[in-house]
Amino acid sequence: MSLVTRASLRYLARHQLQCLLAITGIALGVAIVIGIQATQLAARAAFADALRGVFGQATHFVHAPAGSFDEAVLRRVRRLAPELQPTPVVAGSVRLPTAQGATSLRLVGIDPVSAAQSGRRSGFPIGPFMTEPGAAVLNQRTAERLGLSAGETLQLEAPRATLRLLSIIDGMPGAARVADDLLLVDIATAQEILGNAGRLSRIELHADNSAGAAHALARLVAGLPTTLELAHSERSTSGARELTRAFYTNLDALSLLALLVGAFMIYNTMAFLVVQRLDIFARLRALGVTRQAIARQVAGEALLLGAIGGALGNLLGYTLAAQLGAPLSQTLSDHYFAGGLDTTSWSPALAAGGFVLALSVSLEAAVQPARQAAALSPAQALSHSARETLGTQRSRWSAVAGLFAAVLGVVFLAFSSRSLLAGFAALGAVVVAAMLFVPHLVAALLHATDRLWAHRLPLPERLALKAGRRSLGRIGLAVAALMAATATSIGVGLMVDSFRDSVGNWLEQLLRADFYIAQEGTDLAQPLLDDEHVRALAAIDGVAAISRVRRLAVPGPRGGYRLAAYELPARARAGFRFIAGDAASAWPAWSRGDAVLISEPLAWHHDLDLHDRLRLETPTGVIERPIAGIYQDYGSERGVVALSWQLYTQRWQDERAHGVGVYTAAGRDRERLRSALEHATQTNPMLIVWSNAAIRERSLAVFDRTFAITDVLTLLAAVIAALGVFNALLALHLERAREYAMLRANGYGAAELRRTLYAQTLWVTLATILCAVPLGIGIAVMLIEVINVRSFGWSMQLGWHTDAIVVPALLALLAALAATVYPAERALRIAPAAALRNE
């Protein structure tokens, strides 16, 4: 090993704390990306699982866009295309109470006999599965997660039903593949629990590439009733994938933001390791070591630290993924599908990506200052002003790059109106621009404070003000990372709080009825509330009025339309907040069936506007209706077409509903009415009576769970930023040890010096927070006006929430002061005499 390499490695060994911080910075940066990406991969796998057939990959399936269909269709399909091995499936979701709270599971009913006829093995005893009432099968991992063992009774919370865990199976080759969080039951049991007696959700088909299979599919298309569709698995899932795309994009954006902070942290740490050794490099240069040799040496160090950080980051990333898996799984269950996340599957591509990230950022961070250092002549580099020169050079470049990033952000916004990626790119560019500008702004603020107030301040605080301003060349990157983390926290917090307000207000306005009778299971399951049942409910003593809703889906562009057919009394209509259109003229046209209303997300995703005509396929033929109004709706990110009950019954010739709203007559006892409603629905376990307040509470609980993951990610970004501040201050105070020793030698007391060091952090952090607050508000505005609109089509008002600003600001201040403790105390421990020695 050459003496130059030996000197370099010994330097790292002597500065273990800084190396540890560099490795920690790299590891945390990589961990966040790996953690989120591993969680996303798991979520995507679970999603694919949820869509896949139980017995292997179904290539096609028969389904009814309107919901379930009569099981008699199965006989017809078998007759038309027996070679496609038709397998009936009934699917829905159920809730199972556990010690950690209720969890959503997918309930899938299969016919093991038809599966066996198709040559598939079940992997569990078919006899008891079919004959024992409520027999259910779970996979090993789900059983372990829920703490269940074979033979246990499962008391479902909604729909209310009792199952018995017959068997726990663990992926046998060629046998039924039971996905995570999937309760497999006999088809009859599923029909009974989900209230779908005599109905099927889909018929799975398995077509190979043969001409025979193609003919069979053609026969099937020709022979199917018009209410049914033959769908290709890939194409049919694309609509659902579209649905979750915005969710994943948002997560990606958060992980990129954390990565940005992580990259700054890595850059910061690596750059310090280089800048601190400028004099050593200068000595080597004086002795005849070439620039290239120094750059190679620094690159080698960066690769070494990057490799260690990358390896640790991979390990930490999967630990983080395991932590993020639970809240994400819950969010996905709340909004998209029931399915557990397996975050433990190691992906070589992801691990390699993490490594490349660690190595490339470390290399870039280290080599750039090393190049700058090498570019100085040895004489310049040996002078004490050289480091300051480098700091100035870097800050000039950062100002230019910041300006460029800001312009880029404006361009992204100006030249895109719908692209979510462009929206995120604009947001990213604005944050990067702010990060590059912030050291200059903080310096300007401290300069202004110095000029205005310095003469009124005691010496320690005055010195701190000047030292803080001078230190920005050194700690500028850490300040930028802290500012970004604080601003992000403020921005996301303001957006979430404003969003929650909007959802709360919307629920307040929308939920006009006192009670809602809702049907559990999939929302497009067989509707249970027939006209007679609804009339009986309306006739209960104390009921002033009722509303009802029927949900269905019809084919159309971009995965089709979701419809909601409403019967609405006048006071329910007041719950609809129009964004476009005039309620006074829209409601009469809607009531007559001459027009439809659409929700805001539908208008966004399908690019529809007021008075556009919507073409809908109905069982009695295609109809076309103008859009009379667009209303605010946070209930579905895909959007809904609202039809009048009259139009629905006339065109679908069906009067069954999925839900009923009940309005209490004036002066009547609500609790008594609730008992009466529960009594009237107790014969059907699928029907649950909810109070207005309970629905609101449940909806907001789902909302809070959805955004829990953003809290975790912004907190992680803040931890990384605080670590960056710690590292920067440690380097700064070590570098200034001689200066502090001079002060001490001239009679400046340890207590005064301590005050100066803490006050320096205080000044810089306060100035940083002053910059972070407007940026945070800007981020909130962009999230609300650009990202949310482009992701989901939801509009909302930015609300003023002092705590969303004050809490992150206080946390930043506390984190920075906490990060000062060790570096300051360490600096104070250095004896002035030792610090004043040359070597």
Partner 1 sequence: MTIATVLHARKLCKTYPGGDTRHAVIDALDLDVAAGEIVAVIGRSGSGKSTLLNLAGQMDTPDAGCIRCDGIDTATWDDERRTRFRRRQVGFVFQAYNLLPTLTVRENIALPLELNGLPFAPRLDTIIDALDLGTLAARYPDQISGGEQQRAAIARALVHAPPLVIADEPTGNLDQETACEVIALFEHAVREAGAALLMATHSLEMVGHADRVLRLRHGRLVAANE
Nearer Cβ to partner 1, position 376 or 528? 376
Choices 281-289, 301-309, 467-475, 683-691 (CB under 8 A): range interacting with partner 1: 281-289
Question: To the nearest whole angstrom, how small is the minimum distance from the Cβ of residue 305 to partner 1?
Answer: 17
Q: Can you tell me the distance from the alpha carbon of 330 to that of 98, in angstroms, rounded to the nearest whole number?
A: 13
Residues 6+ apart with CB under 8 A from 623: 615, 616, 651
> Does residue 6 interact with partner 1 by CB under 8 A?
yes
Q: Is 320:34 a contact under the CB 8 Å cutoff?
A: yes
* Of positions 214, 286, 410, 806, contacts partner 1 by CB under 8 A: 286
- 300 near partner 1, judged by CB under 8 A: no
3-state SS of 723-780 is HHHHHHHHHHHHHCHHHHHHHHHCCCCHHHHHHHHHHHHHHHHHHHHHHHHHHHHHHH
For partner 1, the closer CB: 375 or 400: 375
Count of H-run helices and E-run strands, the chain: 29, 21
Which amino acid does the sequence have at 663? Y
Helix axes 459-470, 472-510, angle to 10 degrees: 90
385 binds partner 1 (CB under 8 A): no
* CB closer to partner 1 out of 344 and 377: 377
Enter the DSSP assignment of 179: P
Query: What's the token pair of residue 734?
Result: 């070590």
- Could you say which residues in the range 670-709 bind partner 1, by CB under 8 A? none
Taking CB under 8 A as the criterion, the residue among 106, 285, 625, 755 binding partner 1 is 285
Using CB under 8 A as the binding rule, whether residue 541 contacts partner 1 is answered as no
831 touches partner 1 by CB under 8 A: no
Q: Which stretch binds partner 1 (CB under 8 A): 6-14, 30-38, 434-442, 654-662?
A: 6-14
By the 8 A CB rule, do 201 and 63 touch? Answer: yes
With CB under 8 A as the contact rule, the residue among 78, 164, 291, 754 that binds partner 1 is: 291
Q: How far is the CB of 9 from partner 1 (least distance, A)?
A: 8
b/e code 458-481 from CB counts within 10 Å (16+ = b): eebbbbbbbbbbbbbbbbbbbbbb
Q: How far is the CB of 297 from partner 1 (least distance, A)?
A: 12
Among 315, 382, 399, 770, binds partner 1 (CB under 8 A): 382
Residue 304 as a binder of partner 1 (CB under 8 A): the answer is: no
Three-class HEC string of 579-624: EECCHHHHHHHHHHCCCEEEEHHHHHHCCCCCCCEEEEEECCEEEE
Q: Would you call 341 helix, strand, or coil by DSSP?
A: coil
Please say which residue, 5 or 795, places its beta carbon nearer to partner 1. 5
Please, what is the minimum distance in Å from the beta carbon of residue 284 to partner 1? 7
Cis peptide before 159 (omega within 30 of 0): yes
Q: Are 549 and 644 in contact (CB under 8 A)?
A: no
Q: Which is nearer to partner 1, 256 or 374 (CB)?
A: 374
Q: Is 731 exposed, middle or buried (0-12, 13-18, 19+ CB in 10 A)?
A: buried
Least CB distance to partner 1 at residue 834 (A): 9
Interatomic CA distance for residues 329 and 342, integer angstroms: 10
Which residue stretch of 5-13, 87-95, 120-128, 233-241 sits at the interface with partner 1 (rule: CB under 8 A)?
Answer: 5-13
CB nearer partner 1, residue 289 or residue 454 = 289
Residue with Cβ nearer partner 1 (384 or 451)? 384
Identify whether the C-beta of residue 386 lies closer than 8 Å to the C-beta of residue 321: no
Position 8 contacts partner 1 (CB under 8 A): yes
- Between 127 and 288, whose beta carbon lies closer to partner 1? 288
Ranges within 351-380 binding partner 1 (CB under 8 A): 377-380
State in angstroms the smallest separation of the CB of 728 from partner 1.
Answer: 22
Report the residue number, 802 or 838, with the smaller CB distance to partner 1. Answer: 838
Q: Is residue 218 near partner 1 by the rule CB under 8 A?
A: no
Binding residues for partner 1, per CB under 8 A?
2-4, 6-8, 10-11, 14, 279-280, 283-291, 377-380, 382, 837-839
